[in-house]
Structure formats: structure tokens, C-alpha cells
Structure 1
Amino acid sequence: MTDVPGSLAQRIFLLAHDPEKGRPRIGTNLGAMVRAAALADLYLQGHLTDERGRAVAVTGRSCADPVLATLLGDIAAARPRKWQTWVDRRQHATAVAVRRQLGEDGWARLEPYRVLGIFPATRVTPRDPRVRKALLGRVRAALKDPIDRVDPADAALVAITAAGGLGLVLDRAARRGAKRRIQELTDISGPIGPALRKSIEASAAMASG
């Protein structure tokens, strides 16, 4: 079995990147999804709990992942806030930090380049294409396996890609056809999927208004 990154944030980052282009497709909600995945990691690992729709840090537990530890520290230092608030914040910074992790941990090659010869960007190339295929396999299995056999992290993977509208993984027809199952997986993975959906809808409303 092919190894995959340990964190949901890194898994979402790799799934969001078009392997042919080395970057997300235009319109991909990368920052929001990566941020939601980091929150899901912390929730599923027991570092965060949900209290009346708000994220609350669990005291006395250390977190080894530096990206997750930074987010956990921010939440612990603040008064309880809605999950959507934490999805909304520092999306770009979190995505950049996760991208750096993928390079440092050997999962991907990071190649700086300039769009139109002007704007700096980074091309992300997985070192082993089987990793992305393995992640897609986890998504397919979560949609088909008996619900009580689905790993909560894989349930969160589906919930986040569905709420984020990640067509590279689940196109609109697939999301519509698996609507009930996606809801079941969203329920397993906690409050993150609905918070991500609200964040994206709010951003779209602001952009159109």
C-alpha cells in the first residue's frame, strides 16, 4: 500500500493540484479547503472540541505538526469562535505553510517560476504520482465501504472535497449522485464540512456583491 502524508491538510493540498498543470485549477478554493483540513486534523486528533458551534482548544495536549500547532495556539489564545471564523482566517498563509511542508517532507518538488514572466508562483510536482492515486482511492473507498468501516480522516477527506467543490476529485454529478453518503461522511467528520461550505458561500457573496 502506498504511503500518504499524515496530515489531512497535506492530503487536500495534493488532491487540489492538477497533476498536469502543477497547480490548482482556476477557481479552486485551495486556501479554504486546506484551512478546513487543518481544523479537521485538530478536531479528529482530540486537540479541539465543539462547544455550541464553536471551536475550543483542549488543554494539556501537545501537537507535533508545526502548521497544526500554530493554528491550535491561535485558537487556544482566543475566546471561543465559530468554526467558520477559523476557516476564514489566514487561508493563504496556511496553504503556503502546508506547501512548504510537502517539500520539506519529500512528498513534492517545489519549483519557483513566474506567471507571464512577472508574478511569482510555485509549481508543485508530487515525487510519486501513486500518492495522489492512493488518496483518490481513499475517497472512492469512503463512498462505497460500509459506513462503520470508514476511517474518520477519510470521511473528512470526502466532506472537505465535497464542500469545497473540488471537481478534480468529485465533480458535480458525482456529488449529486452521492449526496446522502456525503452527508453521512460529513456527520462522522464533525463540524468542519458545514463551516467550510458557509465560508465559501460567504466569500462568493462578497465577491458578487
Structure 2
Amino acid sequence: MTITLAEEITLLSLDDESGEAKERQAVSWAVAGGILLDLALAGRVSVTGGRLAVTDGSPTGEPLLDERLGLISAWAGKRAKAPKVADWLTKDQAKAPAATVARLCERGLVVEEKRRVLGLFPVRRYPEADGSAERELRERLRAVVQGGAAPDERTAGLLALVHGAKLHRLAFPGEPRKEIAARLEKLADGEWAAEGVREAIRNMRAAMAAVNAATLVVVTS
């Protein structure tokens, strides 16, 4: 089963048993970035000078990506010039996670459970229903980062997003963060994709870094 980058990031973030989402804010940006990166890899969007453009509006065949492609086309079409990547990520990061987890439910990889906290507040949890995709994903990431295997384009892109959003502990629980981060930094800077795709990654990482910095200021002020 081939799942999207956004779905892979979401699987890493969901507790298998409780279905609770971890590191929600950082994950939301990485999920939005994953959808955008998949569209770039599919040749549907491009990034030049930090600005986003739809280059091919034809469907990819993946509902999650095609819905976002339509939204980007409509949103960008209302502007006099190509919008900034950071502006789209800012707009989509609040909504992309829900669309992504809904797709995981459709695939039967997680199941939605509705509960009430203190008998009053409704919450949704998404425990694991089929762990095969996540197991394969984690084995693939370990093979590249800890085993030295050469990554394919999508795996390298996923690791760049994990690094940019500082989701090291979700992807590699129990491993020394500094060692993992150093390896991911090298991978993120590698010549693993076309320049347009690498520019998209750089812009997404910059946007996520800005959010992390702003969050730190709020927490420490």
C-alpha cells in the first residue's frame, strides 16, 4: 500500500493504543508540508523564489492530494502573483491534519473513536487498526538513518520534513536526538531531488522554523 507523506507523518504522531495525537502543532505544519511535497514530486506544483504555482491541474488519483490541489488552484488563482509557500502552509496547517486522518480511516489503518472528557467535552482519538504500514515506514526510516541505506526521493523528503518540524522523537523514539538530527541534516541538504523540489523543502523548513521560534518566544515570555 502506497500512502502519502502526510499520512506517514500522521501515523508517526498517533499513539498506537490510545490514538492520541502527539506534538500537534509541529505535526500540523509537517502534514501540510507533506501534501505540498507530494504534489511537487508528482509535478503538479512548483516552487520558484519561494513562491508556489500550480503547473499541472490534472488529478493524481489520490483523493487527499487532489482535494488540496484544487484548493491551491482556487486560492492562488485569486492573487495577482504567485503566493508564497509559507502563506499556503499557514493557511492549510490547521485543516490538513483532519483531512489526512480521515484518509487513514478510509484505508482502514486507524479507526475513529469518539469520547467525552469529564462527561462533557467531546474528543476524537484514532488508535491503530492495521499496523503494517507504520511498521514498514519505521523500518524504512531506520534503514536510512541508522543503517546507512540510500534513501529514495520520497523517503528523503519525508526525513527532511521530520527534521524541519523537529519530530525526531516521534520518528525515532528512544534514540539520541542529537545523533538523529545530525544525520537528518545531512540528508536534508543532499542532492536527492530536482532543484525545484529541494527549494520547496527549503521553504517549508524555513516556515516551520519561524513557527518554532515564535512559539518559543511565547512560551518563555
TM-score (norm 2): 0.79
User: Residue in 1 aligned with 2:103?
Assistant: 101
Alignment of 1:79-94 (within 5 A): 79-94=81-96
Q: Could you tell me which of 55, 63, 67 is aligned with 2:60?
A: 63
Decide whether the 8 Å contact of 1:16 with 1:24 is kept in 2: yes
Decide whether the 8 Å contact of 1:106 with 1:127 is kept in 2: yes
Residue 140 of structure 2 aligns to which amino acid in structure 1?
Answer: R
Separation in 1, partners of 2:215, 2:178: 21
Separation in 2, partners of 1:75, 1:132: 29
Deviation at 1:11, TM superposition (A): 0.9
Runs of 4+ in 1 over 3 A off after TM superposition: 144-147, 170-175, 178-181, 205-209
Separation in 1, partners of 2:104, 2:153: 22
Alignment of 1:169-208 (within 5 A): 169-170=171-172, 174-187=176-189, 188=192, 190=198, 191-192=200-201, 193-201=204-212, 203-204=214-215, 207-208=218-219
1:44 correspondence with 2:47: no
Decide whether the 8 Å contact of 2:10 with 2:101 is kept in 1: yes
User: Residue in 2 aligned with 1:74?
Assistant: 71
Residue 24 of structure 1 aligns to which amino acid in structure 2?
Answer: A
TM-score (norm 1): 0.83
User: Residue in 1 aligned with 2:27?
Assistant: 30
Deviation at 1:69, TM superposition (A): 1.9
Report how many residues are paired: 205
User: Residue in 1 aligned with 2:116?
Assistant: 114
**Alpha-carbon RMSD:** 2.6
Question: Quick one: structure 1 residues 164 and 42, their matched pair in 2 at CA, closer, same or farther if it must change by over 3 Å?
Answer: same
Question: Quick one: structure 1 residues 145 and 46, their matched pair in 2 at CA, closer, same or farther if it must change by over 3 Å?
Answer: farther
1:160 correspondence with 2:161: yes
Q: Which moved more, 1:134-143 or 1:24-33?
A: 24-33
Deviation at 1:27, TM superposition (A): 5.5
Separation in 2, partners of 1:150, 1:144: 12
Q: Which moved more, 1:187-196 or 1:99-108?
A: 187-196
Deviation at 1:74, TM superposition (A): 2.9
% identity of equivalent residues: 28
Q: Which ranges of structure 2 fall in alignment gaps of 5 or more residues?
A: none
- Map Cα deviations across residues 118-139 of structure 1 (whole Å, 9 max, x no partner): 2222211222223222211121
